[in-house]
Amino acid sequence: MIVITGASSGLGAALTQLYAAENQPLLVTGRSEQKLADVIAGLTQPEQKNVKTYAADLCVAEDVSALFSRLPAPPSKVIHCAGSGYFGPIEQQAPEAINQLIHNNLTSSILVLRELVSRYRDHNVTVVVVMSTAAQAGKANESTYCAVKWAVKGLVESLRLELKGSPMKLIAVYPGGMATDFWQTSGKDINTSSFMTATEAATMLKQALIPTKHGYVSDITINRG
């Protein structure tokens, strides 16, 4: 089974569509039950049969644990797409919104990876963590967003060292701009007409996640061009 977080919107929803089209068994999650139901409604009936949904706030440890307790066996892959944005000059950013940004991106990643390592470190599970090109270089007016994504990168790189010798693999993903609801919910008024669609980014990511017998792609940057 493949688990996809952030599946109620954007990249996670597009990945859900692509994997469901191959009749892969999926457990998909987001916070909004309604948005998850809308994504499922967009699938054909045979595709829907293989997809289970579970609404969870990944900033809450009990929700994260309950999510993975629904799996009958270790998953083959977990693709962690959940996250949110918040932008602007730092002096104009509101402390509450900054805290939410930290929770949605960093706390969720810590709790998800903590749960996965504790359950599956001895299993052949591929864990894919979606960050951003904002984890690779500083950007003006994106200081707190860069900070949380850099922090997630530090988490992933440190856990790779802790997992040395374990069959669990951590794959780091750094997407550039995608035309999704992300921009609207982040409050940034921006023209996304030249950005990748979520389906384009999901298609490239899905291809890059196919391993060979003796290798896999560990770090994936998806640039818009």
Ligand X SMILES: NC(=O)c1ccc[n+]([C@@H]2O[C@H](COP(=O)([O-])OP(=O)(O)OC[C@H]3O[C@@H](n4cnc5c(N)ncnc54)[C@H](OP(=O)(O)O)[C@@H]3O)[C@@H](O)[C@H]2O)c1
Cβ atoms < 10 Å from Cβ of 218: 10
Dihedrals phi, psi of 63, to nearest 5 degrees: -65, -40
SS3 156: helix
Q: Which is nearer to ligand X, 126 or 180 (CB)?
A: 180
- Window contacting ligand X (CB under 6 A); options: 1-9, 43-51, 71-79, 207-215: 1-9
Residue 11 engages ligand X in binding (rule: CB under 6 A): yes
Minimum distance from residue 189 beta carbon to ligand X (Å): 14
Binding mask 132-171 toward ligand X (x if CB under 6 A, else -) reads x---------------------------------------
SS3 75: coil
Task: Check: CB of residue 178 under 8 Å from CB of residue 10.
Answer: yes
Looking at residue 159, its amino acid is L
Contacting ligand X (CB under 6 A), which of 12, 142, 153, 168? 12
Residue 130 engages ligand X in binding (rule: CB under 6 A): yes
Looking at residue 56, its amino acid is A
Residue 16 engages ligand X in binding (rule: CB under 6 A): no
How many positions of this chain bind ligand X (CB under 6 A)? 30
Tokens at residue 159, please?
């856990």
Q: Which is nearer to ligand X, 9 or 144 (CB)?
A: 9
Minimum distance from residue 88 beta carbon to ligand X (Å): 16
Cβ atoms < 10 Å from Cβ of 161: 7
Q: Which is nearer to ligand X, 168 or 178 (CB)?
A: 178
Q: How far apart are CA 63 and CA 74, in angstroms?
A: 18
Of 107, 99, 87, 109, which is closest to residue 183 (Cα–Cα)? 87
Binding mask 71-110 toward ligand X (x if CB under 6 A, else -) reads ----------xxxxx------------------x---x--
Rounded to a whole number, what is the distance in angstroms from the first to the last CA of the chain? 33
Q: How far apart are CA 109 and CA 93, in angstroms?
A: 22
Instruction: Give me the half-sphere count of Cα atoms (radius 13 Å) on the Cβ side of residue 8.
Output: 17
Contacting ligand X (CB under 6 A), which of 87, 180, 205, 209? 180
Residue 57 engages ligand X in binding (rule: CB under 6 A): yes
Residue 64 engages ligand X in binding (rule: CB under 6 A): no
The binding site for ligand X (CB under 6 A) comprises: 6, 8-12, 30-32, 35, 57-59, 81-85, 104, 108, 130, 132, 175, 177-178, 180-182, 185, 198
